[in-house]
Amino acid sequence: MKYGYSHDGSPLLTIKHMKKTIIVFLSFLLAACGTQPTPTPVLLVDTPTSTTIVESPTATMVVPTIQPTFTLAPTLTPFPSKISSMDGMTQLLVPEGSVFMGGLDVLLENDELPAHHVQLRAFWVDQVEVTNGMYGLCVTAGACRPPVKLNSDNRGDYFGNPEFQDYPVVYVSWYDANAYCQWAGRRLPTEAEWERAARGDSMNDYPWGNEPPNELYANANNTLGDTSRVGSYPAGMSQFGALDMGGNVWEWVADYYQGNYYVNSPAENPTGPENGGQNYLRVIRGGSYQDDLIGMRVSNRGYEVGPSSAALPNSDAYYGKSSVKIGFRCVQNN
């Protein structure tokens, strides 16, 4: 079975699977201040404006300026890392190498075939999913729209609420995620880069190994019923130190979705199929807090409707769909 999501988070089709054990400490230093400009919707990042109120489809709000800082404990997490000056994100080095990409277990689906080796150049991956606090910095700078909705699944006051600044931002479309990564000096990962960051040099089914997901490894199986603070499951860490690559929220990647793409995928640094004129589906990866072992598998491919450049500006189709279960992380060239 293959799956995607509608804008309200309900499944369009259905889903798919997750595991590992290492310890990492994340410290979040947050300071709230500042007011909020209104961004002009464009496909490329625009220059900041100076307005103080942000309008969203559901509310008018002031987004506090939050400067999160993620600090690794070097004696326990010996991963090459650096800190982004734009949003405080810890970025981890994924070295040049290959990933055995695609389905390798009995739960594989047709769009995961054939399994194949892909060679990738080195890149930096965000250690965790982009948070509300980080995304708020981009909104304040005038480079990002606010989320389409300000709530999460079971929290009416989510984005802009200091209690949830370290939780993943949701209700952001592919357009919004792409704009954020550009603003931060990064970009969305390709599908292949995402899978290498999650699977590493192994042939594991989950970021942590082959053991199915449970409350130790990931926010999954609807155990919490909503998002969790990023980095809350260090036992679910991938080989390169990335956290929450299984569960919490689905993550946008750069590629258009095509079910048979792997048949003709390049063997080096693939960037996904061409648009083809009518294909506005974009890939999502990693599963969410509602998903089970099938959706958690590192080879599992989801999709959602991305932006349409042919649509009228400010229309829903222009930005594409968003979901209470979809967020994102960025990467950067080495």
Question: What's the pLDDT at 302?
Answer: 96
Question: What's the pLDDT at 68?
Answer: 52
Question: What's the pLDDT at 178?
Answer: 98
Counting Cα atoms < 13 Å in the Cβ hemisphere of 207 gives 33
pTM over 0.85: no
CATH of domain 1-334: 3.90.1580.10
Q: What is the DSSP letter of 262?
A: G
Q: Distances from the Cα of 147 to the Cαs of 171, 175, 270, 306, 326, in angstroms?
A: 5, 11, 30, 15, 11
CA distance linking residue 243 with residue 228, whole number of Å = 12
Q: What is the DSSP letter of 234?
A: G
Question: What's the pLDDT at 277?
Answer: 62
Counting Cα atoms < 13 Å in the Cβ hemisphere of 126 gives 32
Q: Distances from the Cα of 121 to the Cαs of 94, 185, 258, in angstroms?
A: 9, 18, 23
Q: Which of 286, 226, 249, 242 is nearest to 170 (CA)?
A: 249
Question: What's the pLDDT at 79?
Answer: 80
**How many CB atoms are closer than 10 A to CB 90?**
26
Domain ranges of the chain: 1-334
| pLDDT digit string (tens) for the chain, length 334 residues | 454 544 444 444 433 333 333 333 333 333 333 333 333 333 322 222 322 233 333 333 444 444 554 444 333 456 899 999 999 999 999 999 999 999 999 999 999 999 999 999 999 999 999 999 999 999 999 999 999 999 999 999 999 999 999 999 999 999 999 999 999 999 999 999 999 999 999 999 999 999 999 999 999 999 999 999 999 999 999 999 999 999 999 999 999 999 999 999 999 999 999 876 677 999 999 999 999 999 999 999 999 999 998 899 989 999 999 999 999 999 999 9
CA distance linking residue 108 with residue 102, whole number of Å = 8
CA distance linking residue 251 with residue 190, whole number of Å = 11
Q: Are 91 and 83 in contact (CB under 8 A)?
A: yes
Exposed e or buried b for every residue in 174-212, given b needs 16+ CB within 10 A?
A: bbbbbbbbbbbebbbbbbbbbbbbbbbebebbbbbbebb
Q: Distances from the Cα of 196 to the Cαs of 30, 191, 308, in angstroms?
A: 31, 9, 28
Q: List alpha helices for 77-155, DSSP H.
A: 132-141
Which helix H or strand E contains 101, and what residues bound it?
Answer: strand 97-101
Q: What is the DSSP letter of 180?
A: H
Question: What's the pLDDT at 279?
Answer: 79
Cα dihedral 129→302→291→119 (10° resolution): -60
**Interval 224-234: pLDDT, tens:** 999 999 999 99
